[in-house]
Amino acid sequence: MSDGGIAERHICIRSESWEEYDAQGIYLCRVCDVCQEEKLSVYRPEILSGYTQADVDEPIEPDGEDYYGEYGGE
């Protein structure tokens, strides 16, 4: 019974399912306890959580070479 496609054959029990939205409120799909994990697994985590890995890894360049601590003197 394990063809790896529960999300394709499965129909949620209406009273036990809910609509799943991404972090921006965009409707993704209807899920229930049975299929939630599999259905949401096709979406990238950043869609669900609201940030991307690029945001997390965004390089912060300290500009240490160019900035000598000028205070402006005003």
Q: Is 7 exposed, middle or buried (0-12, 13-18, 19+ CB in 10 A)?
A: middle
**Helix (H) / strand (E) containing 30:** strand 27-32
Measured from the CB atom, the residue of 40 and 46 that comes closer to Zn ion is: 40
By CB under 5 A, what part of segment 9-28 binds Zn ion?
Answer: 12
Report in angstroms how near the CB of residue 58 gets to Zn ion at its nearest: 36
Query: Does 6 help bind Zn ion (rule: CB under 5 A)?
Result: no
By CB under 5 A, what part of segment 28-67 binds Zn ion?
Answer: 32, 34-35
